[in-house]
Amino acid sequence: MLTITTSTTMAANRDEILANFQACTGIENFEECLAHLEQSNWNLTEAINSVFGARENAQDQSHAQSHATFEGPTAVPPEHLSGPKKDEDDSTAPSVPMDQAGPSVSLPQPTILRLLQFSIHHRGSVIPLSLTDDQKVDDIKELLAKQLDMPKINLFLSGWDPRIMMPSDETTLSTLHLPSEISLTLSTPRVEPEESLQFCSQSSNGDELSFAERLTRHFELIITDSDDGDTVYNLRYEGCKTIVDVKQGIFALTNVQPRHQVWTGWPKDTDTMTLAASGIDFPKHRLSFKRLGIDQPHNSSSQAATSAGNESSDSDEFEDAHEIMDLDDSAMFGSDSASHRFEPLLSDDLEDVTESLIHFSQEFSARYGDFHPSFYLGPLEEAMKEAFSVSAKDRRLLAVYVHHDKSVQSNVFCSQLLCSDSIVSFLSQNFVTWAWDVTSPKNRERLLQMCTKIFGSVTAATLKNLQQDKFPLLLLVMRIRFNTEVFSVLQGNLSLDELMTSMISAVEVFSQQQQVEVVQEEERRKAEMLKMEQDFAYQESLIADRAKQEEKERQEREEGERIMREQKEEEMKKAEEEAIRLSLERQLVEEPEEGTSQAVSTLRMRLPSGETVTRRFLAAEKLQMLLVFLGSKGFHSDAHKVLTTWPKRDLTTLDGQQTLQQLGLCPQETLFVEER
């Protein structure tokens, strides 16, 4: 009774421990947090110390070198060559009870590196490798690539623990919790490629963000445990994670296996679908789950399960084996019991292709579990666009899985090959996978019509003539030089290694052609950019020339207008001067005749041009008349001076009412007309 109470308390505190661990370490990745906590048996202090110890070693290499000397990827500290000594050191390690764990932690201790011994099985031989657990999966491939003299892209490792997700090249070995000795299988292509292909990926738009953006964003899932006092878990996942990843995370927190979880709140019931494609709300989405009745004994913590672990494990294994044997027997011998356990993968009643494929994916999950290839839910033409109709660097191959329930190989192929972690991971990385069931004649005819339309009559005739014992099939389709071709037809009697090798060969052929296409596409892009730049420069030069021409025309127009304006002003000025001259002429008195008895003043006037004008005036005539005379000749007093010789005077400044005689200009005088 005491054990059950302690286990229940630990299970209730797991969410708090997880939150405290994330707050102390700043690690947002949910799977990485779970890995550290499970490795430390949910001891918060030990898990935090392991993280900070690894960071301290990375920041202070000189301190680490005082304990160990590293000469390559296989070197480890001499004092740890015998492997980890966790059990011997547990007495000195700090320990905090689970129900009292909190954010307060002790000072971090240096992390002890473990030495991992790998046995890599490859084509009948074993390649031994030694690495420390702070290295990555990519380091394993790096060593294998050097020994086998082949690129890392051709290397595919399988045999990892099936309870964890397929690791990527950047995964650190310590996060996988591997034993000291582990065996893996290396798959490489056996044939040299002769042809090449292209592939594509087409993005779809979500409600708020594009599909590509949703894949990289973090979704906050607010999950309510309906059977445990409405306990709420706040978990963060990237959009590229699948629904089954969330269920595996809940399994790690509650020990409720995914097949015993009943969920409410998923818009689409397809476990292999990514969160970005599932249509859930962003950035937060609410969910709830409860347990099936058969799972109640499994709702205890890992400590409670320890006391009856063997018994519970054997019961689960027996239950799973019983389900598989029932499926194998019914599928192999064609008994009627299969029809009572499972529905057909494709129903004859569904005419819409998308609805048919949704039914196929749901029924496939019910038969073989949620961990299987992510099938494209749409017509075959749309799957081809998803694979082939984008830029060369984003293209992928197309894998068409053709199922037949009456074939004895179908169940084994699906459960042991198609749903294996290595195949599922490889398909998701390199293929767009589309599936169909040809068990019923109607659905078989629908597939033949689609293949005739897309691949041609030869491929359709090949599928039509195949007997049911040749199924299931996996067609690897690629686009080579704008032609869609079926590269390989893989039958269901292959082994896992043979299937993986064939798929790697197809990807290698594709990769070579893809590089050619990428280069050609880049050259076309550069040529188009150069042409666009040249066109732009030409248009700019045309605009500049047009602007220069318009400016020249404007200047010429303004110059013409200025000249015309000046000419008009000049004409107006001359007309005005002529009018004044005529007015002054009319004011002049007549020149006195020679021999008149009146006193006469003869005036000689030297003009600015040097010309001399002589005029006779009556001596009694006023000075103003002299000025009027000069004005009638164009020499106005406001612009000219009229000077006498002796004494020198400017007559224009004198009183114009004085007579010439009074001014001493009689009987004769010489005057000088000058401009002011």
388-411 pLDDT, tens digit each: 887 888 888 899 999 998 887 888
Question: Taking 60 as the threshold, does the pLDDT of residue 98 lie above it?
Answer: no
316 three-state secondary structure: helix
Q: According to the model, what pLDDT value does residue 335 have?
A: 36
- Which is more confident, 310 or 452? 452
The helix-helix angle for 2-25 and 30-39 (nearest 10°) equals: 130
Average pLDDT over residues 446-470: 83
Question: Taking 60 as the threshold, does the pLDDT of residue 347 lie above it?
Answer: yes
Average pLDDT over residues 539-562: 93
Which residue in the block uniquely carries the two structure tokens 């797991």? 14
CB atoms within 10 A of CB 361: 24
DSSP 648: -
Q: According to the model, what pLDDT value does residue 552 have?
A: 93
Contacts of 23 (CB under 8 A, 6+ apart): 103
Which residue in the block uniquely carries the two structure tokens 């494609």? 277
Q: According to the model, what pLDDT value does residue 163 have?
A: 65
Question: Taking 80 as the threshold, does the pLDDT of residue 449 lie above it?
Answer: yes
Q: How confident is the model at residue 560 (pLDDT cuts 50, 70, 90)?
A: very high
- Which is more confident, 104 or 447? 447
Q: According to the model, what pLDDT value does residue 294 have?
A: 42
Compute CA 377 distance to the chain's CA centroid, rounded to the nearest angstrom: 24
Which residue in the block uniquely carries the two structure tokens 């020249």? 552
Q: According to the model, what pLDDT value does residue 489 have?
A: 87
Q: Pairing between strand 115-122 and 125-132?
A: antiparallel
Question: Taking 60 as the threshold, does the pLDDT of residue 180 lie above it?
Answer: yes
Q: According to the model, what pLDDT value does residue 196 have?
A: 32
Q: How confident is the model at residue 349 (pLDDT cuts 50, 70, 90)?
A: confident
Contact 81, 147 (CB under 8 A): no
- CA–CA gap between residue 276 and residue 284 (Å, rounded): 12
Among 122-126, 266-270, 457-461, 597-601, which stretch is predicted with the lowest mean pLDDT? 266-270
Token pair in block for residue 237: 């996942």
- CA–CA gap between residue 595 and residue 316 (Å, rounded): 161
Q: How confident is the model at residue 513 (pLDDT cuts 50, 70, 90)?
A: confident
User: Which of 33, 31, 37 shows the shortest CA–CA distance to 10?
Assistant: 37
- CA–CA gap between residue 295 and residue 290 (Å, rounded): 10
Average pLDDT over residues 7-24: 66
Q: How confident is the model at residue 433 (pLDDT cuts 50, 70, 90)?
A: very high
* Highest mean predicted confidence (pLDDT) among 170-174, 212-216, 433-437: 433-437
Q: According to the model, what pLDDT value does residue 202 have?
A: 35
- CA–CA gap between residue 97 and residue 95 (Å, rounded): 7
- Which is more confident, 297 or 461? 461
Q: Which run of H or of E encompasses 516?
A: helix 496-587
CB atoms within 10 A of CB 552: 10
Q: Pairing between strand 483-491 and 473-480?
A: antiparallel
Token pair in block for residue 268: 């689409």
Q: According to the model, what pLDDT value does residue 50 have?
A: 79
What would the DSSP string read from start to end of 537-552? HHHHHHHHHHHHHHHH
Q: According to the model, what pLDDT value does residue 59 have?
A: 52
Question: Taking 60 as the threshold, does the pLDDT of residue 113 lie above it?
Answer: yes
User: Which of 656, 508, 556 shows the shortest CA–CA distance to 152?
Assistant: 508
Contact 675, 609 (CB under 8 A): no
Query: How many residues does the structure list for the chain?
Result: 676
Contact 399, 372 (CB under 8 A): no
Amino acid identity, residue 518? Answer: V
Average pLDDT value over all residues in the chain: 76
- Which is more confident, 505 or 485? 505
Task: Please give the model's pTM, rounded to 2 decimal places.
Answer: 0.37
Question: Taking 70 as the threshold, does the pLDDT of residue 194 lie above it?
Answer: no
Question: Taking 70 as the threshold, does the pLDDT of residue 260 lie above it?
Answer: yes
Q: According to the model, what pLDDT value does residue 398 have?
A: 92
Question: Taking 70 as the threshold, does the pLDDT of residue 571 lie above it?
Answer: yes
218, burial (CB in 10 Å: exposed 0-12, middle 13-18, buried 19+): middle
Among 48-57, 155-164, 372-381, which stretch is predicted with the lowest mean pLDDT? 48-57
Determine if the peptide bond prior to 267 is cis (ω within 30°): no
User: Which of 210, 265, 216 shows the shortest CA–CA distance to 243?
Assistant: 265
68 three-state secondary structure: coil
- Percentage of the chain lying above the pLDDT 90 cut: 11
458, burial (CB in 10 Å: exposed 0-12, middle 13-18, buried 19+): exposed
Alpha helices in 115-270 (DSSP H): 137-148, 211-216, 243-254
Average pLDDT over residues 7-19: 62
What are 615-624's pLDDT values in tens digits? 888 888 888 8
Amino acid identity, residue 527? Answer: A
Question: Taking 70 as the threshold, does the pLDDT of residue 179 lie above it?
Answer: yes
